[in-house]
Copies of this chain bind each other. A is one copy, B any other.
């Protein structure tokens, strides 16, 4: 009986291993006292732990260990991302997503929510880290319809002054509307005018264009782009980063469908902590009716939780 599991220890560990991150303190106090048989009995008694997707793991133990490693890695990754220079951070995020599959979301996020100089900083850092240019790797590795959009977005160096041409805004709002209306005939994301407008115009010019669009067609352009995720994200990142980030955080906190959705939690909190976290929190509260910090606290554990809350709280 000496080596069986106490119910409160079992519960403490359940909490310690649930959600994002791990509760290091509980692990230290509970796990450290256990004997080998107790550890074995814990493993055997709760195969449901960390059970999310067992397609990839034949043996439950491998799966278990893999998840443990991943949850431990969250705090490490947050720490690393936080200490990197923003340019290097963006370069590494871009490299990872370009080389681990079909790049899109994170690249759009980096290309469209950063200032021209920040994006350029990332392109510079990418050179020295990876001996290639971002656009070179995107053009080479991306395939499919959104390649030309992605290449154009990461190559952009947008004008950031206050000059806006209202006439061009009107005419391009019309161009966008026409393209969206005819999208069923031809893939919208391959439309040269749509790519040109979204990838080269200044953010201020685009804001006026999107306003014109809404006035002309009675609906916000991002609503009309619901079938074209990459274009919708592009529009949201360009016109309203806080809205985009608050939506991204919500998807991550809901547990998401994929690991990349969940990883957004670390990425967004770390990259926006010193930029627009205040606006993101306001937007989150407005749309989801609950403070972002509550949701983070609910969904995360341990050092990872403390770290995210501290970062997110800095803007208060």
Q: Which A residues contact B (CB, under 8 angstroms)?
A: 120, 123-124, 127-128, 131-133, 135-136, 139-140, 147-148, 151-152, 155-161, 163, 192, 196, 199-202
Contact = CB atoms under 8 A, between A and B. Distances in A.
Given A140-B200, A196-B140, A200-B140, A157 B131 contact: no
Contacts of A200: 133, 135-136, 139-140, 151
Describe A's contact surface by its main secondary structure: helix
Given A135-B157, A140-B196, 10 more contacts: A124-B157, A127-B159, A131-B159, A133-B157, A133-B159, A136-B201, A139-B199, A151-B152, A151-B196, A151-B200
Given A120-B120, A151-B152, A152-B151, A159 B132 contact: yes
Contacts of A132: 159, 163, 202
A161 B125 CA distance: 12
B127 A161 contact: yes
A148 to B, nearest CB: 8
A148 B158 CA distance: 17
Nearest to A119: B157
Contacts of A151: 152, 196, 200
Contacts of A201: 136
A132 B127 CA distance: 26
A148 B90 CA distance: 26
A306 B264 CA distance: 64
Contacts of A202: 132-133, 136
Nearest to A154: B155
18 contacts: A120-B120, A124-B157, A127-B159, A131-B161, A131-B163, A133-B200, A135-B155, A135-B157, A135-B199, A136-B200, A136-B201, A136-B202, A139-B196, A139-B199, A140-B196, A148-B148, A151-B152, A155-B156
A158 B133 CA distance: 6
Nearest to A195: B139
A56 B288 CA distance: 68
Contacts of A139: 196, 199-200
In the A-B complex, list the 3 residue pairs whose CB atoms are closest, starting with the nearest.
A155-B155, A131-B163, A136-B200
A284 to B, nearest CB: 33
Nearest to A123: B157
A192 B148 CA distance: 9
A160 B127 contact: yes
A155 B138 CA distance: 14
A210 to B, nearest CB: 17
A45 B123 CA distance: 63
A120 B127 CA distance: 14
A105 to B, nearest CB: 21
A264 B10 CA distance: 81
A135 B154 CA distance: 12
